[in-house]
Every structure is written in structure tokens, then in C-alpha cells.
Chains A and B, each alone.
Chain A
Amino acid sequence: MDAPFARTRQLVHYSCYQPGQAAIVLDDQELMALLAATAQGQEEAFARLYRHSAPNLFAVLVRILKRKDWAEEALQETFVRIWNHAQDYRPHRGRPMTWMRSIARYRALDMLRRLPLELLQEDLSGHTDAAAADSRADPIQHMDDELLRRCLEELQEQARTCIIMAYYEGYTHEQLSARLSAPLGTVKSWIRRGLGRLRECLET
């Protein structure tokens, strides 16, 4: 049980610095304290939590949903959920930012899967947000996380592409199969094997 707690003692930088912009950085423990206070219904703590994590969660949502109006709606849902479920956060299971980002991602995926097909097609034909487009430009090259980058590079190319497109943009097996002109079964096995290798590599 020691390891996860030990990890939380390090100061972890969440907000990326942008030149000329002072980023206020909170570490895991501060975020945990804010989540605990939020669970007790303290609005001020929740407001602080929002200020420090919303830009990060919004970036995740824009990347998956592509459109800012959808991302705004998903962000609102995400924070209402964080407010209601703050008491469910378990520090030993994962870092606070990971927990919150997962809530946001699941919300976005849920939305994406339920949007009428016409809207999605209309969206794919050009209405792509600049922020989302950025993520397509070789995401691995700019990764600071050395181990993750090495592990991704070691994957078979198709497996890496599938995992990244699914994670960053919410592609389904079927969409990947169409996009990469590969049979559905092949896409599924690329992903399954790729995830297995990724796990092995990250844990050695």
C-alpha cells in the first residue's frame, strides 16, 4: 500500500506552462484536500478545484468532442458529477487529476456515442476545432514522459495508431476499421495485443 501514497508526495505539475503566462500549479495533495472538502459540500474548495483543473479537463473534452459547444456542455456535466461523487474518490486507486480526467473522458465518450450520425458526419467534414487538430500532429514526438514514449514506440505501428486515435479522439473499433481500411477483427486484435504490451512495458 506504500507505493501509491509515496507517489503522491512528489510535486506533480499538471498545468503546462505557456510562455508569458503564469500557471498556478497544484500538487496531488492539494487536489486531494480540495476533493475532500468538496465531498463535504464546501463550495469554495470546489470553486478552487474548478479553477485549477477545468482548463485541463476542457482540453481533454475539446480533443475528443472537437466542438467547443459540445465540450462546454460536457465540462458542465463533468463538474456536476465531480461535486456529486467527490466522496467516491479513493487516493490509493489513483491520482486526483487522473480520476477527474476519467470522469470527463467517459462523459465525452458517452456523448459522442449518442450523437445523431448526421451531426457527426457534418462535423467530420470540416468543422474541426484548431485545438483538436493540434493533437493529430504526431502526439508522441512531443511527449515529456520518456517511458511512455519508449513504450508506445515499441508497439507495432498499427496498434499504436489505433490506441492513440481511440484514446485521444474516441474512435470505435468500427471507425478505426473504416479509417485504416483493415478488417474489424484485425483492428480488435491490434488493440488487444497493443494494450497488453503497453502494460508490460510500463511495468518493467
Chain B
Amino acid sequence: MNLKDPEIRDALAAEFVLGTLHGPARRHFERLLRDDPSLQQAVSAWEGRLGRLDEGLQPVEPPAPVWRAVKGRIRERRGHAPSLWESLVLWRSLTAAALAVSVSLAGILVHQMVRSPAFVPEYVAVVSDEKGQTIWSVSADLDRGELAINPVSTPPLEEGKAFELWLLPARDRPPRSMGLLPTQRRARLTLPSDITLPTAKGIAVSLEPAGGSPTGLPTGPVLYQAALLRSG
């Protein structure tokens, strides 16, 4: 995606708003959008233009249970405001192996929360190598619909290859791709909205061609697996 050309930027913003930009391209665009104010501006302008299509829409009264569910969820979240204490409790509740690195990880987690206080790590997973060295920490905020990935100490990666993150759903359903894992910098991945983390078996990392698995299922070796733990 060449995002230097202003015409291409505007065309992509338009198709993002229209909805025809989809799949990996949409997720890539969403990541770029996070830190690019001029792209955000272009998207807002298109939301304004195409939003005019909605102006005459006949409202439809939603059933009352929807509001009750919303209220329940925001209250539940308030009870789970992130704090240093909670994050320490969280790390203590991890397995013995993970406990060994809890000090450095708690530091990382706190750092993450300071940078973006709105992210609430409701689920966490620690991907580590056979020696117990943490490679990535992964946390999920279901309401934001995001995974925060923190590369701690990633192994070398051959050119033309990528690490892909998979969610292992309940029962024997096939793994779902969550996107490519960063090796240098922290990144956010968009969590599919139909995913139910509470029942997931865990996560896995596979080695794939650059750009990710061409089939939608792991094609290379599965290098690591980790459990997904509810925080707090």
C-alpha cells in the first residue's frame, strides 16, 4: 500500500469508509490510521460525505435488553479499572514458569497502561521459548476489540518469513489468524468481533511466508503455543 501519494491515500480512506476495503488491507489501514492524523482527517471527511446517505433513515427502536446489556458491561468494566495492584495480582496468578519473569513483565504491562490508559488487558498470554524466555506478551481488550502485542525478545527471522499469531478456538474448530506478530515494536491487532476468548484453548505462533499464510490456516511449523488467562 503506497501511502505517500495523496490521491491514493484519499481513495483508500474513501473505500475504508465505504467498506469495500476489507480483509488484511483493511486491518493494515486501521493500523496506519492510529498514528496518522492526516489520514484520520481524510477518513473523517469521507465519513461526513458518505454519512449524508444516512440522514433520511427511519429510526428503528432497539429492544430494551440491549441497553441493559450495555449498562451491565460498562459497570463491569468500571469494577475492573486497571491498576498496578491488579496487574501484580494478575501476574502472580500466572503459572510458575511465567512467574519467573513476572517482575519484568509487570513493568512492561504498567508501561503499556501508562502509554494508553484506555486499554484494559482482560486476557493475557505469554509466549515463551523452551528456556522460559519470554518472546511476546499478548493482551486482549475485548471492548476495544484489540490485541496489544509486545515483542520482548524475538528470535531471528529469515528474510521472506513472518510470525503469524493464531487463536485456537474451543473444541476442534480450526485456528483463526489474528495477524502477523511484530518483532521490533509494539503493535495492536484487531480482534475479530465474533471471537469468544473465554472458551478459547489458547494461542499459537507459526512460521509463514512474509505477508502471512496464503490459505488462512497455518502452513509452516507451529513454533509456540501459550495459554490465554483471564486477568483479574
Contacts and interface: CB of A to CB of B under 8 A. Distances in A.
A89 B190 CA distance: 20
A81 B143 contact: yes
Mostly, the A contact residues are helix
Nearest to A74: B193
Nearest to A201: B49
Interface in B179-221: 190, 192-194
B69 A76 contact: yes
A68 to B, nearest CB: 8
B57 A84 contact: no
Interface in B59-83: 59-63, 65-67, 69-71, 73-74, 77-78
B55 interface: yes
A167 B48 CA distance: 13
A168 B59 contact: no
Given A115-B194, A195-B14, A63 B57 contact: yes
A192 B61 CA distance: 35
Interface stretch (B18-26, B91-99, B121-129, B148-156): B18-26
Interface in A166-204: 166-168, 170-173, 191-192, 195-196, 198-199, 202
Contacts of A63: 57
A60 interface: yes
Contacts of A90: 44
18 contacts: A58-B62, A72-B63, A76-B70, A80-B73, A80-B143, A85-B118, A87-B118, A94-B48, A98-B48, A98-B51, A101-B51, A110-B145, A114-B192, A139-B53, A145-B52, A172-B20, A191-B18, A198-B49
Interface of A: 15-16, 18, 23, 41, 43, 46-47, 50, 54-56, 58-60, 62-63, 71-72, 74-77, 79-81, 83-85, 87, 90, 93-95, 97-99, 101-102, 105, 107, 109-111, 113-115, 131, 134, 139, 142-145, 148, 163-164, 166-168, 170-173, 191-192, 195-196, 198-199, 202
